[in-house]
Each structure stands twice: as structure tokens, then as C-alpha cells.
């Protein structure tokens, strides 16, 4: 199995290489660096001749970026690199991943992500909606020393279906990396300022019912995970009045990776994030691994 890291010809996405290197070293897999040069016009189009010089320039840049990227992963990881030209960058990344029998495809955050945070860009959004393999997003300016490894996976739980869908892939990754698994559920609860006829705490009953459900989901998930031999390190319910507040309630550690599943609305075997996932992602200070729906 291989971990694939996608980088841009301009050297964007180097932090994806840091993350991919860390994962590959933790799970003892090979690493494939894949740089896709976007060729929007396509060969054979009227503009392709005029475009050729520009493309050659980009390919030259890509080769330089590759040379730099090769120095990043820990020395014990076997690294390969390919440069490709394609009309669709994300589609080509998926094709390369399939050829390499990839376990995970790693891409970087959009350029406008907050320092240390994850943000979706064009490529990652496409991948999350359509890729049928696990996709990891590295936070902006993510940095990993050659000795750093994954320390803990944190699985986001919001339904039994999400757990069932994520269980195999997550426990497999945890076992290969030799790490424990935390369970987390995020929730946003905003209480109205005004009392109304339902009483000022009208929402408490709703919240209690929610907690009961979540505790049941987590208990079930924990027993399923333990059955596979992976230790469950924490069970966290993080609730605040905003997604950001909820994410910040979790005591994140260096070496964590958050694992999220696609939502139920998504087509089978396609990653389609629930409406909350992008909002949660934007505030998470650790890498995020999204699993396609099974």
C-alpha cells in the first residue's frame, strides 16, 4: 500500500508532503509524490501550441518542486515521484492513486486557510465529493519532523451509520500506526436570550434527549472498536454555542488526526460531507481524514 501526496507545480501543498510522510512512516507504507500540471485547454485544441511554452515552464517548476518535496519525508520512507499533465487536477490525482493502489490521498489546504487550520479549496472539495478513497487534508503550514508519528486518531461520531461506515478503515489505520482511538461528537447549542412560554430552559429536554442518543452511539462505537483490538482512549462530547467553540473544547494534541465520514445523504462510495463537516473542519487545528461512505 502507498500513501499519495498531491502537490502543485508552484510548490503549493508542501505541508501535504509533511503529513503524508508522517502517515507513511507511522504505517510503514511507501510514499508517492504526485504533481499535476493543469492543462485547461487540452492537447490538440487551437491554443495548445501557444500554450506549449507555458506548459513546459510549469513542468520545469514541477520538477523543482518535486526535488524539494523529496527531502521532506522521514528517511525510512521509500519515496517515488511523478509529474503529470491533465485537464482536471483532482481527477488525475485519483487516477494516480488508483494506479498506485493508494490507501490514502493527502492534499493541502486552500491558500486562504488560517495558519494551522484546514480549509477546503477547489481540488479538495472535488475530492471530498467524488473520490472513493480516504482523503487527508493537512492544515496550512503543517510541519512534521522526521521523527514525528501519528499518536492518536479521533473519530467524529454523529450516528450509528457513520460509525459503521468508518469502523473498518479507521481501526485498520489505527492498528497499522499502533495508536489508540478517541471518539468525539461535536454539537452546537445556542440558547435563546428570551424566555418564552416553554420556559427559559425549554431546550434542556431536547438537549438531554440528544445527549442520551450520543452516549448510546459512542458506547456502541467504543465496544465495536475494542472488539478489533484498538484501545479507545477518550470519549468526548464537545458542545458550545458555535462550531469553533465546540472544536476548541477538545484537547487537541500534536500527533492527532481527526477522522470524519461522509454524511448519509451522499451517494454510495462517494465522499459527501454532511453540512456540519466543512464548518467543523475550518476550526480543527490538526489534520483531517475523510472517509468515503461505504
> Footprint of another protein on this chain (CB under 8 A)?
158-160, 185, 187-214, 216-217, 239, 263, 274-276
Return the number of the residue (22 or 293) whose C-beta is nearest another protein: 293
Q: Minimum CB separation from another protein for residue 191, in Å?
A: 6
CA dihedral 260, 262, 265, 269 (to 10 degrees): -160
102 touches 1 (CB < 8 A): yes
Return the number of the residue (211 or 270) whose C-beta is nearest another protein: 211
Q: Residue holding cell 427559559?
A: 200
Q: Minimum CB separation from another protein for residue 157, in Å?
A: 9
Q: Minimum CB separation from another protein for residue 260, in Å?
A: 12
Q: Minimum CB separation from another protein for residue 237, in Å?
A: 11
Return the number of the residue (181 or 277) whose C-beta is nearest another protein: 277
Return the number of the residue (68 or 241) whose C-beta is nearest another protein: 241
Grid coordinates standing for 67?
Answer: 526535488
Return the number of the residue (76 or 196) whose C-beta is nearest another protein: 196
122 touches 88 (CB < 8 A): no
Closest CA to 107 of 57, 48, 34: 34
107 touches 94 (CB < 8 A): no
Q: Minimum CB separation from another protein for residue 52, in Å?
A: 50
Q: How would you label 180-216 residue by residue, b for 16+ Cβ within 10 Å and e otherwise?
A: bbbbbbbbbeeeeeeeeeeeeeeeeeeeeebeeebee
Q: Minimum CB separation from another protein for residue 128, in Å?
A: 17
CA distances (Å), 14 to each of 55, 85, 113, 127, 141, in order? 21, 19, 14, 18, 8
Return the number of the residue (176 or 220) whose C-beta is nearest another protein: 220
Amino acid at each position: 500500500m502507498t500513501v499519495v501526496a498531491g502537490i502543485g507545480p508552484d510548490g503549493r501543498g508542501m505541508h501535504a508532503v509533511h503529513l503524508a510522510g508522517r502517515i507513511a512512516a507511522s504505517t510503514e507504507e511507501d510514499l508517492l509524490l504526485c504533481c499535476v500540471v493543469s492543462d485547461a485547454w487540452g492537447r490538440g485544441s487551437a491554443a495548445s501550441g501557444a500554450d506549449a511554452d507555458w506548459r513546459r515552464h510549469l513542468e520545469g517548476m514541477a520538477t523543482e518542486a518535486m526535488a524539494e518535496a523529496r527531502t521532506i519525508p522521514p528517511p525510512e520512507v521509500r519515496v517515488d515521484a511523478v509529474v503529470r499533465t491533465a485537464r482536471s487536477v483532482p481527477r488525475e490525482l485519483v487516477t494516480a492513486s488508483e494506479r498506485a493502489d493508494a490507501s490514502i490521498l493527502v492534499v493541502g489546504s486552500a491558500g486562504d486557510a488560517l495558519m494551522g487550520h484546514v480549509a477546503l479549496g477547489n481540488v479538495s472539495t472535488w475530492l471530498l465529493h467524488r473520490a472513493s478513497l480516504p482523503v487527508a487534508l493537512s492544515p496550512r503550514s503543517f510541519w512534521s519532523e522526521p521523527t514525528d508519528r501519528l499518536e492518536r486518531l479521533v473519530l467524529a461520531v454523529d450516528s450509528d451509520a457513520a460509525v459503521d461506515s468508518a469502523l473498518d478503515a479507521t481501526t485498520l489505520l489505527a492498528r497499522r500506526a499502533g495508536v489508540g482511538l478517541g471518539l468525539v461528537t461535536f454539537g452546537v447549542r445556542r440558547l435563546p436570550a428570551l424566555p418564552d412560554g416553554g420556559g427559559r430552559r425549554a431546550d434542556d429536554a431536547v438537549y438531554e434527549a440528544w445527549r442520551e442518543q450520543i452516549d448510546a452511539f459512542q458506547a456502541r462505537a467504543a465496544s465495536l472498536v475494542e472488539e478489533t483490538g484498538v484501545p479507545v482512549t477518550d470519549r468526548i462530547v464537545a458542545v458550545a454555542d458555535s462550531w469553533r467553540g465546540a472544536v476548541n473544547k477538545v484537547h487537541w494534541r500534536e500527533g492527532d488526526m481527526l477522522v470524519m465520514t461522509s454524511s448519509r445523504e451522499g451517494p454510495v462510495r462517494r465522499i459527501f460531507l454532511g453540512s456540519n463537516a466543512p464548518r467543523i473542519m475550518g476550526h480543527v487545528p490538526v489534520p483531517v481524514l475523510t472517509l468515503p461512505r461505504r
